[in-house]
Amino acid sequence: MKKWLLAGLVLSFLQSYAQDTAHHYFLARTIGKLPFLEYGLGDDRLGGAKMGFLDSNVVLKIVDSVDAKYKVQLSRFHTAYIDKPNVERLLNQKSRPYYLTNSWKVYGDDKYDYVSVNLDEKLPYHSQQQINPSRIVVDVFGATSNSNWITQLKTAREIKNAWYEQTEDDVFRVIIELKHPQHWGHTIYYDTTGKRMVVRIKRQPAVLDIRKLRIAIDAGHGGTNSGASGLMSGVLEKEYTLKFAKELQATLKKAGINNIFMTRTKDTTLDMPERIMMLRQFSPDILISIHLNSSGVDTVQGTSTYYRYIGFRPLTTAVLNQVMSLGLKEYGNVGNFNFSLSGPTDYPNCLVEVAFLSNPADEKKILNPKFHKAVAKKILTGITEWLKTLK
Ligand SMILES: [Zn+2]
Protein backbone atom coordinates (compact mmCIF):
# COMPACT_ATOMS: atom_id res chain seq x y z
CA MET A 1 0.00 0.00 0.00
CA LYS A 2 2.70 2.42 0.99
CA LYS A 3 4.62 1.76 -2.20
CA TRP A 4 1.52 2.48 -4.27
CA LEU A 5 0.86 5.62 -2.32
CA LEU A 6 4.41 6.82 -2.83
CA ALA A 7 4.32 5.98 -6.53
CA GLY A 8 1.01 7.82 -6.81
CA LEU A 9 2.42 10.87 -5.06
CA VAL A 10 5.51 10.91 -7.26
CA LEU A 11 3.37 10.53 -10.37
CA SER A 12 1.02 13.35 -9.40
CA PHE A 13 3.99 15.56 -8.53
CA LEU A 14 5.58 14.86 -11.92
CA GLN A 15 2.30 15.56 -13.69
CA SER A 16 1.78 18.86 -11.95
CA TYR A 17 5.43 19.77 -12.51
CA ALA A 18 5.13 18.98 -16.21
CA GLN A 19 2.00 21.09 -16.45
CA ASP A 20 3.68 23.90 -14.60
CA THR A 21 6.73 24.03 -16.82
CA ALA A 22 4.61 23.63 -19.95
CA HIS A 23 2.64 26.75 -19.00
CA HIS A 24 5.50 28.63 -17.54
CA TYR A 25 5.44 31.34 -20.14
CA PHE A 26 3.23 34.07 -21.44
CA LEU A 27 2.92 35.72 -24.81
CA ALA A 28 3.57 39.42 -25.23
CA ARG A 29 3.79 41.85 -28.09
CA THR A 30 6.44 44.47 -28.64
CA ILE A 31 5.45 48.07 -27.96
CA GLY A 32 7.14 51.45 -27.80
CA LYS A 33 9.22 53.42 -30.26
CA LEU A 34 12.25 51.18 -30.67
CA PRO A 35 11.98 47.77 -29.04
CA PHE A 36 15.18 45.74 -29.36
CA LEU A 37 16.46 42.31 -28.42
CA GLU A 38 19.72 41.70 -26.60
CA TYR A 39 21.80 38.53 -26.80
CA GLY A 40 22.34 38.12 -23.08
CA LEU A 41 22.57 39.91 -19.78
CA GLY A 42 25.96 41.43 -20.56
CA ASP A 43 26.39 45.09 -19.88
CA ASP A 44 28.89 47.82 -20.52
CA ARG A 45 28.90 51.60 -20.73
CA LEU A 46 26.50 51.49 -23.70
CA GLY A 47 24.29 48.60 -22.52
CA GLY A 48 24.30 44.92 -23.45
CA ALA A 49 25.08 43.58 -26.93
CA LYS A 50 22.06 44.20 -29.10
CA MET A 51 20.70 41.66 -31.58
CA GLY A 52 18.67 44.29 -33.32
CA PHE A 53 15.49 46.31 -33.34
CA LEU A 54 12.05 44.77 -33.79
CA ASP A 55 8.89 46.18 -35.29
CA SER A 56 5.96 46.78 -32.92
CA ASN A 57 3.33 44.06 -32.39
CA VAL A 58 5.84 41.25 -32.81
CA VAL A 59 4.70 38.29 -30.68
CA LEU A 60 7.23 37.03 -28.13
CA LYS A 61 7.21 34.05 -25.80
CA ILE A 62 8.34 35.28 -22.38
CA VAL A 63 9.82 32.51 -20.23
CA ASP A 64 11.59 34.32 -17.42
CA SER A 65 12.06 37.64 -15.70
CA VAL A 66 15.49 38.96 -14.73
CA ASP A 67 15.50 42.38 -13.07
CA ALA A 68 14.44 44.95 -15.69
CA LYS A 69 14.38 42.44 -18.56
CA TYR A 70 12.35 39.52 -19.76
CA LYS A 71 13.91 36.41 -21.20
CA VAL A 72 12.42 35.52 -24.57
CA GLN A 73 12.33 32.01 -26.05
CA LEU A 74 12.90 32.80 -29.73
CA SER A 75 13.03 29.20 -30.89
CA ARG A 76 13.87 25.88 -29.28
CA PHE A 77 17.58 26.63 -29.02
CA HIS A 78 17.63 30.43 -29.03
CA THR A 79 16.82 32.93 -26.33
CA ALA A 80 17.21 36.68 -26.01
CA TYR A 81 16.34 39.46 -23.60
CA ILE A 82 14.13 42.50 -23.92
CA ASP A 83 13.52 45.51 -21.69
CA LYS A 84 10.23 45.12 -19.83
CA PRO A 85 8.75 48.48 -20.98
CA ASN A 86 9.15 47.24 -24.58
CA VAL A 87 6.49 44.53 -24.25
CA GLU A 88 2.85 44.25 -23.32
CA ARG A 89 1.40 40.99 -22.07
CA LEU A 90 -1.18 39.32 -24.28
CA LEU A 91 -3.92 37.92 -22.10
CA ASN A 92 -5.42 34.51 -22.83
CA GLN A 93 -3.28 33.93 -25.88
CA LYS A 94 -1.32 30.70 -26.07
CA SER A 95 1.62 29.86 -28.26
CA ARG A 96 0.81 27.58 -31.19
CA PRO A 97 2.84 24.38 -31.57
CA TYR A 98 4.28 25.72 -34.81
CA TYR A 99 4.02 28.67 -37.19
CA LEU A 100 4.34 28.32 -40.94
CA THR A 101 5.78 30.51 -43.62
CA ASN A 102 4.00 30.96 -46.92
CA SER A 103 4.59 32.42 -50.38
CA TRP A 104 7.11 35.18 -51.08
CA LYS A 105 7.36 38.06 -53.45
CA VAL A 106 10.53 39.78 -54.66
CA TYR A 107 9.88 43.13 -56.34
CA GLY A 108 10.74 46.81 -56.48
CA ASP A 109 9.15 50.24 -56.72
CA ASP A 110 10.72 53.52 -57.78
CA LYS A 111 12.83 53.70 -54.61
CA TYR A 112 13.47 50.31 -53.04
CA ASP A 113 13.61 46.57 -53.58
CA TYR A 114 11.51 44.32 -51.38
CA VAL A 115 11.26 40.73 -50.26
CA SER A 116 7.94 39.96 -48.62
CA VAL A 117 7.26 36.69 -46.82
CA ASN A 118 3.81 35.68 -45.62
CA LEU A 119 3.79 34.30 -42.09
CA ASP A 120 1.20 32.88 -39.67
CA GLU A 121 2.20 35.37 -37.02
CA LYS A 122 4.36 38.46 -36.53
CA LEU A 123 7.38 36.46 -35.39
CA PRO A 124 10.68 37.83 -34.06
CA TYR A 125 13.61 38.09 -36.44
CA HIS A 126 17.27 38.94 -36.55
CA SER A 127 19.18 40.16 -39.58
CA GLN A 128 22.84 40.29 -40.47
CA GLN A 129 24.91 41.61 -43.31
CA GLN A 130 27.41 39.42 -45.10
CA ILE A 131 30.13 40.53 -47.48
CA ASN A 132 31.90 38.82 -50.41
CA PRO A 133 29.28 38.05 -51.61
CA SER A 134 27.06 40.78 -50.23
CA ARG A 135 23.97 39.28 -48.66
CA ILE A 136 21.29 40.11 -46.15
CA VAL A 137 20.43 37.13 -43.99
CA VAL A 138 17.27 37.22 -41.89
CA ASP A 139 16.45 34.52 -39.34
CA VAL A 140 12.77 34.23 -38.52
CA PHE A 141 12.39 32.52 -35.17
CA GLY A 142 9.62 30.03 -34.54
CA ALA A 143 8.89 29.60 -38.26
CA THR A 144 8.79 26.39 -40.26
CA SER A 145 8.72 26.42 -44.01
CA ASN A 146 5.64 26.00 -46.08
CA SER A 147 7.05 28.38 -48.71
CA ASN A 148 6.70 26.77 -52.11
CA TRP A 149 6.33 29.85 -54.24
CA ILE A 150 8.76 32.76 -54.63
CA THR A 151 7.53 35.21 -57.25
CA GLN A 152 10.39 37.32 -58.60
CA LEU A 153 9.67 40.40 -60.65
CA LYS A 154 11.93 42.43 -62.87
CA THR A 155 11.11 45.55 -60.90
CA ALA A 156 13.64 44.31 -58.31
CA ARG A 157 16.94 45.88 -59.29
CA GLU A 158 19.31 45.42 -56.36
CA ILE A 159 18.32 41.86 -55.43
CA LYS A 160 20.23 39.27 -57.39
CA ASN A 161 18.75 36.19 -55.73
CA ALA A 162 16.49 35.30 -52.84
CA TRP A 163 16.02 31.89 -51.24
CA TYR A 164 15.69 30.22 -47.88
CA GLU A 165 17.14 27.53 -45.68
CA GLN A 166 15.40 25.81 -42.80
CA THR A 167 18.46 25.98 -40.55
CA GLU A 168 16.66 24.44 -37.57
CA ASP A 169 13.18 22.93 -37.16
CA ASP A 170 11.91 26.32 -36.04
CA VAL A 171 14.39 28.77 -37.53
CA PHE A 172 13.66 29.91 -41.07
CA ARG A 173 16.49 31.75 -42.80
CA VAL A 174 15.79 34.23 -45.60
CA ILE A 175 18.86 34.84 -47.76
CA ILE A 176 19.00 37.84 -50.08
CA GLU A 177 21.94 38.21 -52.41
CA LEU A 178 22.69 41.75 -53.58
CA LYS A 179 24.07 42.89 -56.91
CA HIS A 180 26.49 45.44 -55.49
CA PRO A 181 29.26 44.65 -53.00
CA GLN A 182 28.36 47.73 -50.90
CA HIS A 183 25.42 47.51 -48.48
CA TRP A 184 23.24 50.63 -48.59
CA GLY A 185 20.92 49.47 -45.82
CA HIS A 186 17.82 47.43 -45.18
CA THR A 187 14.74 47.76 -43.00
CA ILE A 188 12.53 44.97 -41.70
CA TYR A 189 8.90 45.45 -40.76
CA TYR A 190 5.46 43.86 -40.92
CA ASP A 191 3.24 45.52 -43.49
CA THR A 192 -0.20 46.86 -42.78
CA THR A 193 -1.97 43.75 -44.09
CA GLY A 194 -0.77 42.13 -40.88
CA LYS A 195 1.44 39.10 -40.91
CA ARG A 196 3.60 39.72 -43.93
CA MET A 197 7.25 40.35 -43.11
CA VAL A 198 8.92 42.81 -45.45
CA VAL A 199 12.65 43.28 -45.97
CA ARG A 200 13.07 46.62 -47.72
CA ILE A 201 16.40 47.08 -49.42
CA LYS A 202 18.05 50.33 -50.30
CA ARG A 203 19.57 50.29 -53.75
CA GLN A 204 22.98 51.61 -54.60
CA PRO A 205 22.43 55.06 -56.17
CA ALA A 206 22.60 54.92 -59.97
CA VAL A 207 25.06 57.82 -59.97
CA LEU A 208 27.70 57.79 -57.25
CA ASP A 209 27.99 61.54 -56.92
CA ILE A 210 28.29 62.91 -53.39
CA ARG A 211 26.15 65.92 -54.38
CA LYS A 212 23.21 63.57 -54.90
CA LEU A 213 23.46 62.01 -51.45
CA ARG A 214 21.30 62.80 -48.46
CA ILE A 215 23.75 63.18 -45.61
CA ALA A 216 22.85 63.29 -41.93
CA ILE A 217 25.19 64.71 -39.30
CA ASP A 218 24.81 63.97 -35.62
CA ALA A 219 26.59 66.13 -33.06
CA GLY A 220 27.01 63.95 -29.99
CA HIS A 221 25.47 64.83 -26.62
CA GLY A 222 23.81 68.23 -26.00
CA GLY A 223 21.65 69.95 -23.41
CA THR A 224 21.71 68.14 -20.08
CA ASN A 225 24.08 65.53 -21.55
CA SER A 226 27.51 67.21 -21.64
CA GLY A 227 29.64 64.18 -22.49
CA ALA A 228 33.31 64.26 -21.61
CA SER A 229 35.28 67.36 -20.64
CA GLY A 230 38.71 68.70 -21.55
CA LEU A 231 41.57 67.66 -19.29
CA MET A 232 43.26 71.08 -19.18
CA SER A 233 40.52 73.43 -20.42
CA GLY A 234 37.42 71.82 -18.94
CA VAL A 235 35.51 72.47 -22.18
CA LEU A 236 32.48 70.27 -22.73
CA GLU A 237 32.31 67.59 -25.40
CA LYS A 238 28.76 68.64 -26.36
CA GLU A 239 29.98 72.14 -27.35
CA TYR A 240 32.81 70.87 -29.48
CA THR A 241 30.92 68.06 -31.23
CA LEU A 242 28.53 70.81 -32.36
CA LYS A 243 31.40 72.96 -33.64
CA PHE A 244 32.79 70.03 -35.66
CA ALA A 245 29.29 69.13 -36.92
CA LYS A 246 28.55 72.69 -38.06
CA GLU A 247 31.90 72.88 -39.80
CA LEU A 248 31.12 69.60 -41.57
CA GLN A 249 27.70 70.94 -42.58
CA ALA A 250 29.30 74.05 -44.08
CA THR A 251 31.97 72.03 -45.86
CA LEU A 252 29.40 69.66 -47.40
CA LYS A 253 27.22 72.59 -48.48
CA LYS A 254 30.19 74.17 -50.17
CA ALA A 255 30.83 70.89 -51.98
CA GLY A 256 27.34 71.14 -53.48
CA ILE A 257 25.39 68.83 -51.20
CA ASN A 258 21.93 70.22 -50.67
CA ASN A 259 20.26 67.51 -48.63
CA ILE A 260 21.92 67.76 -45.24
CA PHE A 261 20.20 67.00 -41.97
CA MET A 262 21.53 67.93 -38.54
CA THR A 263 20.09 66.11 -35.51
CA ARG A 264 20.82 69.30 -33.57
CA THR A 265 22.11 72.76 -34.36
CA LYS A 266 21.83 74.10 -30.81
CA ASP A 267 22.47 72.94 -27.27
CA THR A 268 19.46 70.61 -27.37
CA THR A 269 18.83 67.62 -25.13
CA LEU A 270 18.04 64.61 -27.31
CA ASP A 271 17.94 60.97 -26.28
CA MET A 272 19.00 58.21 -28.64
CA PRO A 273 15.50 57.01 -29.65
CA GLU A 274 14.64 60.63 -30.52
CA ARG A 275 17.71 60.91 -32.73
CA ILE A 276 16.96 57.60 -34.43
CA MET A 277 13.34 58.60 -35.10
CA MET A 278 14.47 61.94 -36.59
CA LEU A 279 16.95 60.12 -38.80
CA ARG A 280 14.27 57.67 -39.92
CA GLN A 281 12.13 60.61 -40.94
CA PHE A 282 14.93 62.19 -42.96
CA SER A 283 15.96 58.82 -44.41
CA PRO A 284 19.63 59.61 -45.07
CA ASP A 285 21.90 57.83 -47.52
CA ILE A 286 24.66 58.04 -44.94
CA LEU A 287 25.09 59.24 -41.37
CA ILE A 288 28.18 60.77 -39.80
CA SER A 289 28.14 60.96 -35.99
CA ILE A 290 30.70 63.10 -34.24
CA HIS A 291 32.04 62.59 -30.74
CA LEU A 292 35.21 63.34 -28.83
CA ASN A 293 36.89 60.57 -26.92
CA SER A 294 38.02 60.43 -23.32
CA SER A 295 40.13 58.06 -21.26
CA GLY A 296 41.12 57.79 -17.63
CA VAL A 297 44.72 57.54 -18.83
CA ASP A 298 45.91 60.87 -20.22
CA THR A 299 48.53 59.32 -22.53
CA VAL A 300 45.81 57.58 -24.58
CA GLN A 301 45.26 59.57 -27.76
CA GLY A 302 44.34 59.42 -31.41
CA THR A 303 41.42 59.22 -33.77
CA SER A 304 39.01 56.36 -34.33
CA THR A 305 35.92 55.42 -36.32
CA TYR A 306 33.23 52.91 -35.45
CA TYR A 307 30.64 50.72 -37.10
CA ARG A 308 28.30 48.03 -35.97
CA TYR A 309 27.63 46.00 -39.13
CA ILE A 310 30.32 44.65 -41.40
CA GLY A 311 28.58 45.90 -44.55
CA PHE A 312 29.01 49.48 -43.36
CA ARG A 313 32.69 49.14 -42.52
CA PRO A 314 34.22 50.56 -45.73
CA LEU A 315 32.85 54.08 -45.11
CA THR A 316 34.38 54.08 -41.63
CA THR A 317 37.83 52.97 -42.81
CA ALA A 318 37.82 55.55 -45.62
CA VAL A 319 36.99 58.33 -43.15
CA LEU A 320 39.58 57.11 -40.64
CA ASN A 321 42.34 57.06 -43.26
CA GLN A 322 41.62 60.67 -44.14
CA VAL A 323 41.28 62.04 -40.60
CA MET A 324 44.49 60.24 -39.60
CA SER A 325 46.35 62.13 -42.30
CA LEU A 326 46.01 65.23 -40.11
CA GLY A 327 48.79 63.83 -37.94
CA LEU A 328 46.56 62.19 -35.35
CA LYS A 329 47.59 58.84 -33.91
CA GLU A 330 45.66 55.74 -34.92
CA TYR A 331 43.38 54.70 -32.10
CA GLY A 332 41.68 52.33 -34.49
CA ASN A 333 38.69 51.25 -36.52
CA VAL A 334 36.25 49.55 -34.17
CA GLY A 335 33.64 47.01 -35.27
CA ASN A 336 30.52 45.60 -33.64
CA PHE A 337 30.32 48.79 -31.65
CA ASN A 338 27.28 49.12 -29.43
CA PHE A 339 26.68 52.85 -29.96
CA SER A 340 22.94 53.47 -30.45
CA LEU A 341 23.31 55.40 -33.71
CA SER A 342 25.38 52.56 -35.16
CA GLY A 343 22.38 50.30 -34.47
CA PRO A 344 20.08 51.12 -37.40
CA THR A 345 20.60 48.85 -40.42
CA ASP A 346 18.83 51.36 -42.67
CA TYR A 347 21.84 53.35 -43.97
CA PRO A 348 25.64 53.23 -43.82
CA ASN A 349 26.78 55.10 -40.76
CA CYS A 350 30.10 56.13 -39.32
CA LEU A 351 30.88 57.33 -35.83
CA VAL A 352 33.98 59.52 -35.68
CA GLU A 353 35.66 59.98 -32.31
CA VAL A 354 37.87 62.77 -33.58
CA ALA A 355 40.47 62.82 -30.80
CA PHE A 356 40.82 62.58 -27.02
CA LEU A 357 39.71 65.44 -24.78
CA SER A 358 41.64 63.69 -22.00
CA ASN A 359 45.00 63.91 -23.79
CA PRO A 360 46.85 67.27 -23.69
CA ALA A 361 48.14 67.13 -27.30
CA ASP A 362 44.76 66.04 -28.74
CA GLU A 363 42.92 68.58 -26.60
CA LYS A 364 45.05 71.39 -27.96
CA LYS A 365 44.02 70.43 -31.49
CA ILE A 366 40.34 70.12 -30.52
CA LEU A 367 40.35 73.67 -29.19
CA ASN A 368 41.67 75.07 -32.47
CA PRO A 369 38.99 76.26 -34.96
CA LYS A 370 41.37 75.56 -37.88
CA PHE A 371 41.40 71.93 -36.83
CA HIS A 372 37.57 71.78 -37.02
CA LYS A 373 37.76 72.92 -40.64
CA ALA A 374 40.54 70.46 -41.44
CA VAL A 375 38.62 67.53 -39.92
CA ALA A 376 35.47 68.51 -41.83
CA LYS A 377 37.40 68.55 -45.11
CA LYS A 378 38.95 65.17 -44.35
CA ILE A 379 35.55 63.64 -43.60
CA LEU A 380 34.30 64.98 -46.93
CA THR A 381 37.34 63.48 -48.68
CA GLY A 382 36.76 60.21 -46.83
CA ILE A 383 33.20 60.01 -48.17
CA THR A 384 34.28 60.80 -51.75
CA GLU A 385 37.15 58.30 -51.55
CA TRP A 386 34.71 55.66 -50.32
CA LEU A 387 32.37 56.42 -53.23
CA LYS A 388 35.26 56.02 -55.68
CA THR A 389 35.91 52.48 -54.45
CA LEU A 390 32.34 51.39 -55.22
CA LYS A 391 31.46 49.49 -58.32
ZN1 LIG B 1 30.62 61.26 -26.67
Spatial CB neighbours of 12, under 8 Å, sequence gap ≥ 6:
none
Average pLDDT per 10 consecutive residues for the chain, totaling 391 residues: 52 47 82 93 78 95 96 97 97 90 96 96 97 98 95 97 97 98 98 91 96 98 98 97 98 98 98 96 98 98 98 98 98 94 97 98 98 98 98 83
Query: What pLDDT is attached to residue 193?
Result: 79
Query: What pLDDT is attached to residue 42?
Result: 83
Ligand 1 midpoint to CA 350 (Å):
14
Judge contact between 86 and 30, C-beta under 8 A. Answer: yes
Ligand 1 midpoint to CA 226 (Å):
8
Spatial CB neighbours of 16, under 8 Å, sequence gap ≥ 6:
none
Helix (H, G, I), strand (E, B) or coil at 223: coil
Average pLDDT, the chain: 93
Ligand 1 midpoint to CA 221 (Å):
6
Ligand 1 midpoint to CA 361 (Å):
18
Helix (H, G, I), strand (E, B) or coil at 286: strand
Ligand 1 midpoint to CA 99 (Å):
43
Ligand 1 midpoint to CA 381 (Å):
23
Distance of CA 17 to the CA centre of its chain: 40
Spatial CB neighbours of 270, under 8 Å, sequence gap ≥ 6:
222, 223, 263, 264, 278
Number of Cβ atoms within 10 Å of the Cβ of 298: 16
Question: Looking at residue 182, what DSSP letter applies?
Answer: S
Helix (H, G, I), strand (E, B) or coil at 316: helix
Query: What pLDDT is attached to residue 374?
Result: 98
Rounded distance between C-alpha atoms, residue 291 and residue 286, angstroms:
17
Ligand 1 midpoint to CA 228 (Å):
6
Query: What pLDDT is attached to residue 20?
Result: 43
Ligand 1 midpoint to CA 341 (Å):
12
Residue (of 197, 198, 187) closest to 345 by Cα position: 187
Rounded distance between C-alpha atoms, residue 324 and residue 302, angstroms:
8
Indicate the pTM of the whole model: 0.91
